[in-house]
Amino acid sequence: MRHGEVDNKAVFRGHTDDPLNEYGYRQMADTLADYCTDIVVSSPLCRCADFTKKWCDEKNHPMIVSDDFKEINFGDWDGKSIEQIELHDKSALHKFWNDPVNNTPPDAESLDEFKRRIIKGWKRLITQYKDKNILIVTHGGVIKMIIAHILSVPMDKLLSIEVALASITRIRVSFDEQSNVYCSLVSHANLTPGSTE
């Protein structure tokens, strides 16, 4: 599940720790109103973890906070708007939009590093909690990376995957007798009735 809406929307929000606004909190509560799970894993960033902790306390679900599922670190661009970056680094921004794999923002996590972190955490999680229903409360970039991994989507196409706020993407994970893992995308970016996102 992706977190809900935050204020100051139009920025590169990677590790910038902006909280949910009131509407974002309601979005997540609506999405999870009738949701049941065995275990909940959350990014430590407050736009995920604050809601998740409260929801898990209310539902008596165990919660794990994991750095593996933090959003990508945009380095010097983190927390800045496109307009702010264009004023100082227009060429680098356009290179990033055109080829994000080979044009990492200054002092940022590269897409290769991001992918390694996410997929390592993903594999560890699905192995450790085999046959459990796991809810991961995380970020758009993380969800895109997991989808790209299981569908073999090239990383230069990540920006073509959209993940709506407070939406749920369902992935089925199964294992054969040799413990080989098979993942399939069941549904993507399901929204609650009445959502405008």
For residue 20, the SS3 value is strand
d(CA 35, CA 30): 10
Write down the H helix ranges in the chain: 22-31, 46-59, 82-98, 111-128, 140-151
Q: Is residue 40 part of a domain?
A: yes
> What pLDDT, in 10s, does the model give residues 63-86?
999 999 999 999 999 999 999 999
Q: Is the pLDDT confidence value at 196 over 80?
A: no
Q: Is residue 13 part of a domain?
A: no
**Confidence band for 191, pLDDT divided at 50, 70 and 90:** low
Q: Is residue 84 part of a domain?
A: no
d(CA 42, CA 32): 14
Q: Is residue 144 part of a domain?
A: yes
Q: For residues 102 and 80, is the Cβ–Cβ distance under 8 A?
A: no
Q: Is residue 140 part of a domain?
A: yes
d(CA 185, CA 176): 18
Q: What's the confidence (pLDDT) of residue 192? A: 52
Q: What's the confidence (pLDDT) of residue 159? A: 84
Q: For residues 144 and 191, is the Cβ–Cβ distance under 8 A?
A: no
Could you list the residue range(s) of the whole structural domain that residue 34 is in? Answer: 22-74+110-190
Number of domains in the chain: 1
Q: Give the mean model confidence (pLDDT) for residues 149-160.
A: 91
d(CA 52, CA 24): 12
Q: Is residue 158 part of a domain?
A: yes
d(CA 151, CA 183): 9
CATH of the domain at 183: 3.40.50.1240
Q: Is residue 117 part of a domain?
A: yes
Q: Is residue 83 part of a domain?
A: no
